[in-house]
């Protein structure tokens, strides 16, 4: 076990991070090809699915452009600055990296739950959920401000004493594990695996708009956190992917080019419309910081009347 405790350098860690991230991206393309051929064989391949896949990668590039310009430097310098206040003195080796991955996975759980439960943040994360399909390209579908939130949830790990570059590596590994789950090609794994780990089945539930599946299965690697914190739901009825209020479909060919931008900005468009159109200041506040299902009193009343 000596190898597990051998000290590693920051250069090795960040080199590893880049290497894993790049190779995973290339392999995901091969997997996407497999998935599309599978849909073709099953006669489920549609032009809209191919268009949606292109949209996914275009949102990725818009997200990367924003993140690299505005956030990357801030991210690393905030971590390195915070590291000097570290509570524990933690060595960099495979044993401490393993612990950091588990803790980063819990941090991700809360970050992810937060992204679903606050309108301002949901405005960016809803982009990822706006695809009516579920394949590995959807994992790369990002919103404009998706890069902002992880920092607040993972900074505590740096303050506890984990090396900033180890935390960044752990964040990537949690993200990549979950990326690999975006597929319909795997039905269910054996019971023990489904009990401990997040799986394609659990993550399909997370991407569903079915009423019984909403706000469930936020996990990255371990589904245990959802079981512990009361947000777990089992997949037992057919999943309808996408948002409760879908983005209007663009059918005319002349406006097809607008689809990626509509997907990328729709969350903030809706948020802005709701906040600016609010009748009371309190309503504007709730539209910005309340939960996605919150509606102003008049609408609630009219819905009740409509139901009667």
Task: Specify the 3-state DSSP secondary structure of 114.
Answer: helix
Nearest approach in angstroms of CB 80 to other proteins is 13
Size of the site for other proteins (CB under 8 A): 40
Identify the CA nearest to 54 among candidates 123, 129, 135, 125: 135
Q: Which is nearer to other proteins, 45 or 102 (CB)?
A: 102
Q: Which is nearer to other proteins, 60 or 214 (CB)?
A: 214
239-298 residues in contact with other proteins (CB under 8 A) are none
Nearest approach in angstroms of CB 107 to other proteins is 8
99-158 residues in contact with other proteins (CB under 8 A) are 99-100, 102-103, 106, 110, 156-157
Nearest approach in angstroms of CB 165 to other proteins is 12
- Sign of the Cα torsion 216, 220, 225, 229 reads negative
Q: Which is nearer to other proteins, 71 or 244 (CB)?
A: 244
Nearest approach in angstroms of CB 256 to other proteins is 35
CA 259 to CA 225: how far, in whole Å?
35
Write the binding mask 164 to 203 for other proteins: x where contact by CB under 8 A, - elsewhere: ----------------------------------------
Task: Specify the 3-state DSSP secondary structure of 241.
Answer: strand
85-104 residues in contact with other proteins (CB under 8 A) are 87-91, 93, 95-96, 99-100, 102-103
The tokens for 83 are 């590291």
List Cβ neighbours of 128 (8 Å cut-off, separation of 6 or more): 138, 141, 142, 143, 146
Identify the CA nearest to 44 among candidates 34, 54, 36: 36
CA 100 to CA 167: how far, in whole Å?
7
Nearest approach in angstroms of CB 118 to other proteins is 13
Q: Which is nearer to other proteins, 75 or 213 (CB)?
A: 213
Q: Which is nearer to other proteins, 65 or 228 (CB)?
A: 228
The tokens for 140 are 């790369």
203-232 residues in contact with other proteins (CB under 8 A) are 211-216, 228-232
Residue carrying structure tokens 């506040």 = 285
Out of 75, 79, 133, 162, the only residue in the binding site for other proteins (CB under 8 A) is 162
What Rg, from alpha-carbon coordinates, does the chain have? 21
Q: Which is nearer to other proteins, 13 or 145 (CB)?
A: 13
| Residue 1 touching other proteins (CB under 8 A) | yes
Identify the CA nearest to 154 among candidates 70, 63, 83, 239: 83
If one counts every other C-beta atom within 10 angstroms of the C-beta of residue 10, the result is 13
Nearest approach in angstroms of CB 132 to other proteins is 20
| DSSP letter for each residue of 194-256 | HHHB--HHHHHHHTB-SGGGTT----SSBTHHHHHHT------S---BS-SSPPPP--SGGGG
Which residues here bind other proteins, judged by CB under 8 A?
1-2, 4-7, 9-11, 87-91, 93, 95-96, 99-100, 102-103, 106, 110, 156-157, 160-162, 211-216, 228-233
């Amino acid at each position: 076990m000596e190898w597990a405790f051998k000290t590693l350098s920051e250069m090795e860690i960040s080199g590893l991070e880049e290497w894993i991230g790049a190779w995973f991206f290339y392999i995901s393309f091969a997997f996407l090809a497999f998935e599309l051929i599978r849909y073709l064989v099953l006669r489920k391949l549609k032009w809209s699915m191919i268009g949606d896949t292109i949209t996914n990668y275009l949102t990725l590039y818009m997200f990367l452009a924003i993140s690299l310009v505005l956030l990357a430097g801030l991210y690393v310098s905030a971590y390195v600055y915070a590291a000097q206040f570290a509570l524990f003195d933690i060595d960099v080796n495979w044993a401490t990296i393993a612990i950091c991955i588990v803790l980063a996975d819990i941090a991700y759980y809360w970050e992810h739950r937060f992204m679903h439960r606050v309108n301002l943040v949901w405005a960016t994360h809803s982009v990822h959920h706006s695809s009516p399909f579920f394949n590995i390209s959807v994992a790369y579908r990002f919103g404009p401000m998706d890069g902002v939130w992880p920092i607040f949830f993972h900074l505590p790990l740096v303050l506890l004493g984990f090396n900033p570059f180890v935390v960044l590596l752990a964040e990537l590994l949690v993200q990549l594990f979950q990326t690999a789950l975006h597929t319909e090609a795997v039905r269910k794994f054996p019971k023990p695996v489904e009990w401990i780990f997040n799986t394609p089945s659990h993550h399909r539930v997370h991407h569903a708009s079915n009423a019984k599946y909403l706000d469930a299965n936020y996990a990255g690697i371990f589904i245990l956190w959802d079981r512990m914190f009361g947000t777990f739901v089992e997949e037992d009825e057919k999943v309808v992917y996408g948002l409760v209020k879908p983005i209007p479909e663009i059918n005319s060919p002349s406006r097809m080019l607008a689809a990626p931008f509509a997907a990328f900005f729709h969350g903030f468009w809706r948020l802005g419309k709701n906040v600016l159109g609010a009748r009371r200041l309190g309503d504007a506040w709730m539209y910005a910081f309340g939960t996605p299902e919150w509606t102003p009193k008049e609408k609630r009343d009219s819905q009740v009347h409509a139901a009667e």
